[in-house]
Amino acid sequence: MSVPGLPDVDRCLVMGVVNVTPDSFSDGGEWFDQERAVKHGLELVKDGADIIDVGGESTRPGAQRVSLKEELRRVVPVVAALAAEGVAVSVDTMRGEVAAAAVEAGAKLLNDVSGGLADPDMAPVVAAAGVPYVVMHWRGHGHEMHTRTQYRDVVADVERELRTRVDAVIAQGVDPSMIVLDPGLGFSKEPAHNWRLLAVTRELGRDFPVLVGASRKRFLGKLLADADGTPRPFAECDDATLAVTAIAALEGAWCVRVHNVKPNADAVRVAAAIGSVRG
């Protein structure tokens, strides 16, 4: 399932992450300098990234919001520099004003972890820009998401809540052909919830392409915890991320969002080769 205006290949796409933040959960501070962020984005493209996702605000559990002015300062120059190099750039933001500025700077995709809930101006911006839009399942900002993990049936509940958001943004003028869904792994979810959602990737993608963002997330660290229960550090979960990528790609994910691009770019090609002979 392809998305207008973005790379169209016969496999799952790979989105490389560039966090222009001092406090993101796995690599906060590494690419906070704009020049280093741009260089890193270009390196990820060489490693096989089809899309580079630039974010200027951490959405990790417990994170506090940054000001609009600061987010714009962090994000827009990096988006512009990467777009000038011909990179397909996504911007990871919950603010309509940042989204508009990023599109003007050359962004081709808007990745909104709030699915339009954090800013009522987001959907009109997306509609006017005419670019693809990721609608993620979301129940609240980082400082409150841990209190909102109750579900009757996580798959049914997430599907219903996503459908509500999709209907809302379409009503505000967003073209349905431009919508991508993200089940929001790690956002207001316990580990078991994330595994259930990954297991139904194909079902979630019945009507819209699906973006899977499992890279280095807490539920992987908990799965791989030491004998004493200490979770594995985020940066040591890349092998587990690779396993998730291969499975998600084989199960029909449109794109995977990852920090360590090169092995994941290999994994989606392996998955595509297997998928091509399944019949």
Q: Tell me the CA distances in angstroms from 188 to 11, 220, 241, 251, one per residue in order.
A: 30, 15, 20, 23
Q: Domain spanning 13-276: which superfamily?
A: Dihydropteroate synthase-like (3.20.20.20)
What's the rounded Cα separation, in Å, for the pair 135 and 240? 25
CB contact at 8 A, 120 and 113: no
CA-nearest of 12, 5, 58, 2 to 244 is: 12
179-182: strand order across its sheet: 179-182, 133-136, 109-112, 89-92, 51-55, 13-19, 255-258, 211-212
How much is the pTM? 0.93
**Residue found by looking up tokens 């995709």 in the block:** 109
The model's pLDDT over 58-106, given as tens digits with 9 standing for 90+, comes to 876 666 778 999 999 999 999 999 999 999 999 999 999 999 999 999 9
Confirm whether 206 is a catalytic residue. Answer: no
For the chain, give every domain's residue range: 13-276
The residue length of the chain stands at: 279
Residue among 146, 263, 253, 262 at smallest CA distance from 202: 253
Predicted confidence at residue 140, as pLDDT, reads 79
Q: Is the per-residue pLDDT at 196 higher than 80?
A: yes
Handedness of CA 201, 207, 209, 214 (dihedral sign): negative
* Mean pLDDT, rounded, for 141-159: 85
Per-residue pLDDT reduced to its tens digit, 27-45: 555 656 889 999 999 999 9
* Whole-number pLDDT of residue 65: 79
- Give the C-alpha separation, 146 to 149, whole Å: 6
Q: Which of 139, 189, 216, 257 is catalytic?
A: 257
Structure confidence by residue, pLDDT tens digits, 155-169: 999 999 999 999 999
Residue 26: per-residue pLDDT: 56
Helix (H, G, I), strand (E, B) or coil at 53: strand
What confidence score (pLDDT) does residue 146 get? Answer: 74
Mean of the per-residue pLDDT values for the chain? 93
Q: Mean per-residue pLDDT for 115-123?
A: 95
What is residue 1's predicted lDDT score, i.e. its pLDDT? 76
The predicted pLDDT at position 30 comes to 62
Which candidate in 74, 217, 218, 232 is catalytic?
217
> Per-residue pLDDT tens for 199-254?
999 999 999 999 999 999 999 999 999 999 999 998 899 999 999 999 999 999 99
Residue 22 has pLDDT above 60, yes or no: yes
Structure tokens at 38: 């741009």
* Per-residue pLDDT at 143: 65
Mean pLDDT of 20-24: 73
Q: Is 257 a catalytic residue?
A: yes
